Every structure is written in C-alpha cells, then in structure tokens.
Amino acid sequence: MRLIAVSGHEIKCTPNDRQPRWSSHSPLGAALDPARKKVTMNVIRSMYKKNDPIAMMTAHDFPSAHVADAAGMDIILVGDSLAMVALGMQDTSEVTVDDMLLHCKSVARATKAAFTIGDLPMGSYEISPEQALETAIRFVKEGRVQGIKLEGGKEMAPAIKKITEAGIPVLAHVGLTPQRQNALGGFRVQGKTSKGAMRVLEDAFAVQEAGCFAMVVEAVPAEVASIITQKLSVPTIGIGAGNGCSGQVLVQVDMSGYFPPGRTIPKFVKQYGNVWAESLRAIEGYRSDVKSRQYPAPEHTYPIPKEELDAKSPSVCLTAKIFRRYMTTASNFCVALILRTSDFSCGAEPTGLKRTSTFSWSNPPADARAELASRGRAVRTVDAVMVSGSSGDAGRSWIGEGGGDGDDAGTSGYSISERRKSGRDDR
C-alpha cells in the first residue's frame, strides 16, 4: 500500500486500485483518508465561537460535491442556482422539488465530511408552515441532506420555527432573495438606505428568533452586513456582503471559471480558476487524436493471447471459419427452396429429410442424390449438399441452420411437411 497526496490529503492506494479495468467506466477510486472530522452542527457552532471563518460552497452533482468535500469545505449547499448553472434555465423560479431532490442525492453520495444543505425551491414552502415542513422532510429523507435552506425574513419565521421544532436544521437567507427578484425589481443590492438596512436587520432578528442555526446574507453593503453579524448570536454566511460575515459562500461554477468567455458574473465573484479553458483544451486534444488516428494507441487496446491466433495468417484462418459457417447456412436455405419447388411441381410429399453436417461441393451423399432424383429432378452436386435420407422419420422434412463443424443437428429447423399437414402451407 502507498499514500498519494491530493489537495493536501493523503489517499490510500492499494495494488488493486492500479489494475486496469475492462469496462467503459470506472468507479470513484480510493476514498479520502478519514482523518478529517465530520462537520456537524456542534462543529459549526464551535467554529463560530472561535471566530473561525466558515467556508461554504455550492455543488450540484457528484463530481462537484466530491471535489468540494476533498478541498475541505465546511458546508456544501445544493443551491437552487443549479437551475441556471446545471440545467440551463433562465432563473431559479423554474426548478422543481423533484429536480432539487435528484441533485441532492447525487451530492450526498459524494460528501463524506462536509455538512450538506438542500435549498427549498420557490413554491415549495411559502403556502404554509405545514407545506414547508413537508418539503423539508422530503429533502432529508429522499435527498439525504442534513439541513435545508429557505429564503425570506420575518414572513418566513413561522415556517422556520415549524421545521426546526421537527428537528431539521434551517439555514435562513436574508437580503437579496433571488426567488423574489421580480418583486424586488431584479437582482438589486439590499440595505443601501437606512430604512432598507433596518429592514434587513429586522429580518435577521426574526429568523434567528425562529430557530435558524445560521443565515445567508446576500448583496448587502459590507458595513451593514458587519453590523448585522455583530448583533446576532448565530453565524452569517456572506455572498456579496463583505468580509465581516462569519463565513462566505460562492457558486462553484462561478469561482472555478466553468463557463465560456464573455459571460457576465456578479461583481462579488472572484474567479479562482479557468475550468472551461482546461476542459476545452482536453476535449479538443481528444478530437484531434481521433481525427488523426493517434487515439487509441496500442496501450489503450485490449490484448488477446497469441495462442488464440494463427501465427502465420490469423485473418485467413478467421475468414475461413466464418465462410464455412455462413456457407453451410446458405446451403440449407438453398435446399429448402429446391425441395419446396419440387414438392409443389411434382405433388410428391418430401420424405425423411434432415440436416447433415456434411459440407462438400464435390462428393454429395448417395442417399441425398437418390432423394432428389425421386422427385423427378436432375441431380446436381449443389442440389444434394446438406440433404440426407432418414427411413425412421418419414413424416418430417427439416431445414435449418448449418452444422458444418459436425455438431448434432438436433430438431431445430423448419418442417415443410408439418406446415402442409396443419393447413398453413403458404403456396
């Protein structure tokens, strides 16, 4: 066993992990070393008391959650922003509960240490506290997340209280609430006036009193967000709210640069990478190798034991086997036509015909020649191939696939006589 360092973590790698696989996909691979403690509510509270900034990031599927967890995120949020960044929708109002649950499940499978939160979509919690609780329960039971997030201030306090009393952690969201962009006049900064700042503060106090364990503060002037953080007794997670908050959150697609050039991103986003450019480079390289036949190279192909091939001319050997098999089948078909035509024209009932494994264009069996001759036909070598008599089964006439390798013909095939007797002869 050996250890491999990945993003500051050690991964245990055994010899089995390095062996090639013969399928078109591969599993996740070696699990991260479980030295990192699982982030729980108690851990988050302890971080807040110690003034240790809380690192939070969105993820929308297994790979994005896996890398976020491996990078040491404290909280992973399955945000409704996946409506735009993962599903190509215009805004978050389009995404449904079922959409969110599917992505929550995927994220939960990848996350081993971070605390996971699912974002309740628009229309799934606003009607009543009971509706909010019902949706929250689905997120925990079906989505496998450990807490939920919902948008809104004092008007959502009853819903938050209902959910927390049921034992489900709630992350509140005040300031700019994207699900209500139409009522707010678009994605606009909140709290820019003294009246607006007081409204955000009142919302923060209300959701804290309702029982949320933390709250997202979005698109609020840094000074206002800092004052709110100081007056609260629960953590604030800022997004476009300055560094005076208890922690920060960003959309992973935005900060990692997984979008084409020219896309507008919010002012508060710092781009830490250019995943789009790296992915484009890799995919273009693959396309180039395919077009030039440089891929797959010998090291990417599957081996075959040499003894299974003819050392001198394997292609000729394989071709001969294929030719023999299909020519045998073709011969049976030809004989079927010959006997059927003979039966129709002469009125004679075919007697005692069956398959034979003989395959010869030069030496047909004598009984086959006699059989055809009895139908008043001129005997040709090609007509007699694959036909033989059987005195013990005079009522059946079998035509089937060839047995050119000496296999038992069995009883598979097609009976002309039986079709005539059952009245199904389609002359």
155: tokens are 């008007």
Active site residue 218: yes
Tell me which of 155, 165, 202, 218 is the catalytic residue.
218
126: tokens are 């606003």
Q: Please give the Cα distance from 184 to 188 (Å, whole number).
A: 7
Asked if 11 and 32 touch (Cβ cutoff 8 Å), the reply is yes
- Coil, helix or strand at residue 133: helix
113: tokens are 């240490």
Say which amino acid occupies 402. Answer: G
Place of tokens 């971070």: 114
- Coil, helix or strand at residue 117: strand
Q: Please give the Cα distance from 297 to 286 (Å, whole number).
A: 12
In 3-state terms the chain splits into helix, strand, coil percentages (rounded to 5) of: 40, 15, 45
Burial per residue of 67-94, b for 16 or more beta-carbon CB atoms within 10 angstroms, e otherwise:
bbbbeebbbbbbbbbbbbbbeeeebbbe
124: tokens are 């799934």
Strands 115-119, 147-149: pairing is: parallel
Catalytically annotated residues: 218
